[in-house]
Chain A
Amino acid sequence: MLARNATGRSVAVAAQEISLPQTADRWIGGLLGAATATAACTVLLIVGFLLYSSMPLLLSGEFIETVTRHWRPYHMPPEYGIGPMILGSLSLALLALVLALPLGVGLCSFLHGLAPRRLSRPVLIAVHLMTSIPTVIYGFVSVSLLVPLLRRGLGEGSGFSLLAAALTLAMLIVPTITLLLNVHLQQIDPRIRIACLSLGMTPAQTVRRVLLPASRQALLAATILGLSRALGDTLVALMVAGNAAQIPSSLLDSIRTLTAHIALVLATDTYSPEYRSLAAAGLMLFTLTAVLSLLIRQLGRHSRGGSHRAPAIR
Chain B
Amino acid sequence: MKQLADWFGMAWMALALGLATIPLAAAGTPLEAFRGATGTIDIAGGTAHIPVMNEAAKQIMTAYPKVRITVAGGGSGVGVEKVAAGLVAIGNTGRPLSKQEAERHGLISFPFAIDGVAVIIHPKNPVSDLSAEQIRKIFAGQTTNWKAVGGQDAPINLYTRDEASGTRAVLWKKLLKKGLIAEHADVVTSNGAMKVAAAQDPNAIGYAGIGHIDSTVKAPLLDGIAPTQENAAAGHYPIVRKLYMNTKGEPSPLVRAFIDYILGPAGAKIIKSKGYIPLVAG
Query: Which residues in B have their C-beta under 8 angstroms from that of A245?
Result: 183, 187
**B204, closest chain A residue (CB):** A158
Stretch at the interface among A47-55, A72-80, A104-112, A198-206: A72-80
**A214 CB to closest chain B CB, in angstroms?**
46
Do the beta carbons of B179 and A74 come within 8 Å of each other?
Answer: yes
Do the beta carbons of B163 and A270 come within 8 Å of each other?
Answer: no
A102 at the interface (CB under 8 A from B): no
Known: A72-B183, A244-B183, A244-B184. A267 touches B75 (CB 8 A): yes
Query: Which residues in B have their C-beta under 8 angstroms from that of A271?
Result: 98, 100-101, 104
Do the beta carbons of A238 and B164 come within 8 Å of each other?
Answer: no
**A208 CB to closest chain B CB, in angstroms?**
43
Leading 10 A-B pairs by shortest Cβ distance: A267-B77, A243-B187, A267-B164, A158-B157, A246-B183, A242-B186, A268-B164, A264-B162, A271-B100, A74-B180
Q: Enumerate B144-166 residues with CB–CB distance to A below 8 Å.
A: 155, 157, 159, 162-164
Indicate the size class of the contact surface on chain B.
20 to 34
Query: Which residues in A have their C-beta under 8 angstroms from that of B81?
Result: 267, 270
Do the beta carbons of B186 and A75 come within 8 Å of each other?
Answer: no
Contact check: which of A243, A266, A274 meets B186 at CB < 8 Å? A243
A268 to B162, CA, bound (A): 9
A264 to B160, CA, bound (A): 12
Query: Which residues in A have their C-beta under 8 angstroms from that of B80?
Result: 269-270
Q: Residues 164-191 of chain B: 1 if any A CB is under 8 Å from the residue's CB, otherwise 0?
A: 1000000010000011110111111100
- Which has the most chain B C-beta neighbours within 10 Å: A72, A151, A156? A151
**B139, closest chain A residue (CB):** A74
Query: Which residues in A have their C-beta under 8 angstroms from that of B159?
Result: 158
Q: Residues 35-76 of chain A: 1 if any B CB is under 8 Å from the residue's CB, otherwise 0?
A: 000000000000000000000000000000000001111110
**A244 CB to closest chain B CB, in angstroms?**
5
Query: Which residues in B have their C-beta under 8 angstroms from that of A242?
Result: 186-187
A251 to B56, CA, bound (A): 48
**A50 CB to closest chain B CB, in angstroms?**
19
A71 to B187, CA, bound (A): 13
A265 at the interface (CB under 8 A from B): yes
**A144 CB to closest chain B CB, in angstroms?**
9
Query: Which residues in A have their C-beta under 8 angstroms from that of B254?
Result: none
**B76, closest chain A residue (CB):** A267
Contact check: which of B98, B157, B178, B187 meets A264 at CB < 8 Å? B187
Query: Which residues in B have their C-beta under 8 angstroms from that of A156?
Result: 155
Query: Which residues in A have their C-beta under 8 angstroms from that of B184?
Result: 244, 246, 253-254
Q: Can you report 24 residue pairs joining A to B where beta carbons are below 8 Å apart?
A: A72-B183, A74-B172, A148-B200, A151-B201, A156-B155, A157-B155, A158-B157, A158-B159, A158-B197, A158-B203, A160-B186, A242-B187, A244-B187, A245-B187, A254-B186, A256-B187, A264-B162, A264-B187, A267-B75, A267-B77, A268-B163, A269-B98, A270-B101, A272-B163
B238 at the interface (CB under 8 A from A): no
